[in-house]
Structure 1
Amino acid sequence: MMHTSASMVTGIVFAPLGLVLVFTAAITPQWREGQARLGMAGGKGHWMGVRSGSVESLLLLRSDGLWESCLQVEHSELKQCWPVAGPYRRDPRVRLAQGLILTSLFLCGTGIVLACIGVRCWTDIPLRGVAATGGLLVVMAGLLSLTALGVYTHNLARLGMEDPSKGIGNPRFPHLSLHPAGSLYFGWLGSCLQMLGGTALLFSFKRPRYPTCPSCPKLPVCPACRSCPKITNQPDSDAYEVTC
């Protein structure tokens, strides 16, 4: 009967969940959001298919991620997304966050594979050293993603801003009040789960202690049947077989 410690089960559950959340945060464009009201001049023009004569102003919703930016008109289906470009893409802090997140995803995936091999659900005895090594990689992945999120959050309002008075790096747009968005929260939660799962796997280095048999203190009690093992002497061999 297989004996899998609670720390292994915790790590093998939380680490993949953290990976999914960090990956979701990485591919979605809601790391920061801002909105601004664009005044409409005149009543005969059109802007993105909306008649300017029907409203006095439009509320623009802008969102940025690590690899994609989006612009949407509130209360409408008009939305346009494009790969990050311009000063925002060239900002060294954005590039640093991109590199850290990609490295974190790679390390976490590798750590999960090692943890699965170490747990060895198809055998009785897990490979504790392999599982703990996977946990170490998952912890490192969590630290890298937390660093990326911290750098981005700390500089959120200044990323891609050549001149803060010009809004989002484009003088045609009014100033946007930027704030953290949903993808950041997914990233924070996923990173914490990675740290928790990796730390749990690190406890795999510690071997569990089994109670000893009262009649033979040097021999542990079988964890499956909780009884003292019997020692049978094989007549044709000098070796001893220990069974439950």
Structure 2
Amino acid sequence: MQRTPGILIFGMVMAPCGWILDLTATVAPNWRTLHQLPGRPTDAVMQQGIWDICLVTETSSSATSTNRPCGQADSTYFGNQIIGIAQGMMVASLIVTLIGLAVAIPGVRCWRENPNWLVAGLAGLLIFCSGVLTIIPIAWYNHIFKNLTSVTTSTDIRVGYSIVLGYIGGIFEVLGGIVMFIGICRCCGGKNRGERRLKDVVPRPNRRSDQQSEPERRVDVPRLSRPRSTSPSSVAYTNRPKNPRTFSVVLV
């Protein structure tokens, strides 16, 4: 069994996180907020999304409570072109992300010997496209959010948290998709094909290796010292010189 490549792990983590943020941005009615509404209490805030509009008011009594009736009608706001486009593209982004994750599961190889780089790369391409489908309506809405309806000059128009979550979720999916798509270079003759097996990285005790190791070669090294012979020599050695000379001394 081999380790799952880091680029696939990165993509499989970033894509679900981006999907959750995109889902929150899609269903939450907080793409923009209207403060200081004419004819409304000073603490009233209008929260507008792409599916619903809510009016939030805070009532001060013995215990502070928040009243948030939703389902406010505003045909002028929902009649803008960006609202219908944002609805379709955000829903399409959520569906494409789920399809990309479903394709990536068999390609990531949590149970196989090697990952299927082609399948994982195609899944990364789908996840990348889902991120683009999120960023386009978010950026478009953020660019024109002050001009969607005619309001008085005293009305304070602010960006809602759904725009921020949509940006972050779309960037997560774009980054995760790009990183996973890089894996296609591996299946097309890239340089990063080599992966090390876990049994080569971490030794496992009490298990025989698949390949039999080569026997060690023995090298005979000649000895420098020769052993002394313990048998008695057949040649007798004396301390006399070989050619002894005899000297005579004459005493007078």
Q: Give the TM interval when normalised to the shorter protein.
A: 0.7 to 0.9
Deviation at 1:206, TM superposition (A): 3.0
Give the distance between the partners of 1:119 and 1:137, measured in 2 at CA. Answer: 15
Is 1:153 equivalent to 2:142 in the alignment? yes
For residue 124 of structure 1, give the secondary structure of its aligned residue in structure 2: coil
Equivalent residue, structure 2, for 1:129: 118
Is 1:86 equivalent to 2:86 in the alignment? no
1:215-226 to 2 correspondences below 5 Å: 223-226=197-200
Equivalent residue, structure 1, for 2:168: 189
1:1-244 to 2 correspondences below 5 Å: 1-36=1-36, 38=38, 57-75=41-59, 76-82=65-71, 85-159=74-148, 161=149, 164=150, 166-167=151-152, 176-207=155-186, 208-210=192-194, 223-226=197-200, 230=211
Distance 1:149 1:84, change over 3 A: farther
What's the RMSD between the two structures over aligned residues?
A: 2.4
Give the distance between the partners of 1:187 and 1:138, measured in 2 at CA. Answer: 15
Q: Which consecutive unaligned segments of at least 5 residues does structure 1 have?
A: 41-56, 168-173, 212-221, 232-244
Q: Is the 8 A contact 2:93 2:134 kept in 1?
A: yes
Seq. identity, %: 27
Q: Is the 8 A contact 1:67 1:83 kept in 2?
A: no
CA deviation profile, 1:188-225 (whole Å, cap 9, x unmatched) = 111110011111111221333338xxxxxxxxxx6333
Equivalent residue, structure 1, for 2:245: none
Distance 1:66 1:37, change over 3 A: closer
For residue 197 of structure 1, give the secondary structure of its aligned residue in structure 2: helix
Distance 1:84 1:116, change over 3 A: farther
CA deviation profile, 1:20-77 (whole Å, cap 9, x unmatched) = 100111010111011115568xxxxxxxxxxxxxxxx542100101101100213542
Q: Is the 8 A contact 2:21 2:168 kept in 1?
A: yes
Deviates more, 1:6-15 or 1:99-108: 99-108
For residue 82 of structure 1, give the secondary structure of its aligned residue in structure 2: coil
Equivalent residue, structure 1, for 2:243: none
Instruction: Supply the AA of the counterpart residue of 1:68.
Output: D
TM-score normalized by structure 2? 0.70
Give the distance between the partners of 1:91 and 1:230, measured in 2 at CA. Answer: 70
Give the distance between the partners of 2:37 and 2:51, measured in 1 at CA. Answer: 25
Instruction: Supply the AA of the counterpart residue of 2:76.
Output: P
For residue 59 of structure 1, give the secondary structure of its aligned residue in structure 2: coil
Q: Is the 8 A contact 1:58 1:74 kept in 2?
A: no
Distance 1:9 1:78, change over 3 A: same
CA deviation profile, 1:108-154 (whole Å, cap 9, x unmatched) = 11111111121121222111111110100110111111101011000
Q: Is the 8 A contact 1:136 1:199 kept in 2?
A: yes
Q: Is the 8 A contact 2:38 2:155 kept in 1?
A: no
For residue 158 of structure 2, give the secondary structure of its aligned residue in structure 1: strand
Q: Which consecutive unaligned segments of at least 5 residues does structure 2 have?
A: 60-64, 187-191, 202-208, 213-252
Instruction: Supply the AA of the counterpart residue of 1:74.
Output: E
CA deviation profile, 1:138-183 (whole Å, cap 9, x unmatched) = 1011111110101100010112x2xx2x45xxxxxx9532110111
For residue 73 of structure 1, give the secondary structure of its aligned residue in structure 2: strand
Give the distance between the partners of 2:165 and 2:107, measured in 1 at CA. Answer: 28
Q: Is the 8 A contact 1:38 1:60 kept in 2?
A: no
Deviation at 1:226, TM superposition (A): 3.3
* Structure with the larger strand share: 1
Q: Is the 8 A contact 1:35 1:176 kept in 2?
A: yes
